[in-house]
Amino acid sequence: MLYRILRPLLFRLDPESAHALALKSVGAMGAVPGLRRLVTAAVRAPRGRPVEAFGLSFPNRVGLAAGYDKDGEGWRGLAALGFGHIEVGTVTPRAQPGNPRPRLFRLPGQRSLINRLGFPGRGAAYVAGRLQGPRPPGLVLGVNIGKQRTTPIEEAARDYEELVDVFAPLADYLAVNVSSPNTPGLRRLQGRGFLRGLLTAVVARRDRCAAISGTRVPVLVKLAPDLNQEQLAAAADAILGANVDGVVATNTTTSREGVDDPRGVEEGGLSGAALGRRATRVVAAVHELIGGALPIIGVGGVMGPADAAEKLAAGATLVQVYTGLVYEGPALVGRILRRIG
């Protein structure tokens, strides 16, 4: 109820400023254990049922997608909303500004967003510092990693290997982002000529870190919703061949199918309700292609309990939200958990 009052006020701000304000506020709450407990009590999210995936134990099936907390500023406070896991990032090796503003647009009639942020962030060293210290009990923490904008595609593996070195000791899992539409050329890494080699390099670096630390961190790969069946089949072959631990399906889409908002002409990746069916089709296709051999995190258009249930029915083991949190508010997590358990 409170969010229904606050949302019109937040929506008077430009989307990026509103997001920064919300994240800063929740980050401040997360720094004070007593305030975190108050937030948890206020949202009244049920605990949900634990689920095993990627060799990890998740306290429930609902997570926060990468992109919401790029620099690890607010994850402790966000955990108080009832999330079973939170994926920070996308993190690049060094700080970079991303694309020029404006670069984030609301499509309220579609309950969707378009972003062309381009991996803005403070870089790996800063985020690593933000992840140090105690965690909320039971929370699974993922880190989404991506290449520097200026790194040639042919040399991208070195960026991902560097990020594995930094975050393997800190994260519960790593998600390899090769599917954002907002970094020039990045999606080429999903192609037959690149993906197997890149993932093999990442897994090898993860294994080297595991040999030193004694802890094996699962590696996931995040795919685009715009791959056709042939491209998905090639990606599935690469994923299985490289011994990756799981898939995140999907990232944002460049398609504007079904979008009638005038801001739909903006370049960038579309998320939210307008992406939902497309993302679910990809979840189902990947599940079939890999024969259920790997767990899938279903993300894209999870705006409520029915959307989450749809992703699970298509073959996902876990779901993530992002744009749904913008439009539906912090009570969304509890609403979903009451339906799916």
The string of pLDDT tens digits covering residues 306-316 is 999 999 999 99
pLDDT at 195 over 80: yes
Percent share of the chain, pLDDT over 70: 96
Is residue 178 within 8 A of residue 234, CB to CB? The reply is no
**Other C-beta atoms within 10 Å of 295: how many?**
24
What pLDDT is attached to residue 8? Answer: 86
CATH for 318: 3.20.20.70
Instruction: Report whether pLDDT(190) > 60.
Output: yes
Q: What's the pLDDT at 29?
A: 74
What sign has the CA pseudo-torsion 177, 26, 139, 164? positive
Residues 66-117 have pLDDT tens digits of: 999 999 999 998 998 999 999 999 999 999 999 999 999 999 999 999 999 9
Q: State the average pLDDT for the chain.
A: 93
Place of tokens 């090898």: 204
Q: Check residue 109 and give its pLDDT.
A: 92
The total number of structural domains that make up the chain: 1
Question: What is the per-residue pLDDT for 41?
Answer: 66
What secondary structure letter does DSSP report for 149? T
HSE (side-chain half, CA atoms, 13 Å) at 230:
1
More confident residue, 27 or 233: 233
Q: How confident is the model over 133-152, as pLDDT tens digits?
A: 888 889 999 999 999 999 99
Per-residue model confidence (pLDDT) at position 166: 97
Cα–Cα distance, 270 to 185 (Å, whole number): 18
Q: What is the pLDDT of residue 2?
A: 66
Please name every residue paired with 106 in a beta bridge, in sequence order, or none if there are none: 113
Active site residues: 180
Which domain does 233 fall in, by range? 2-340
> Averaged over 169-190, what is the pLDDT?
94
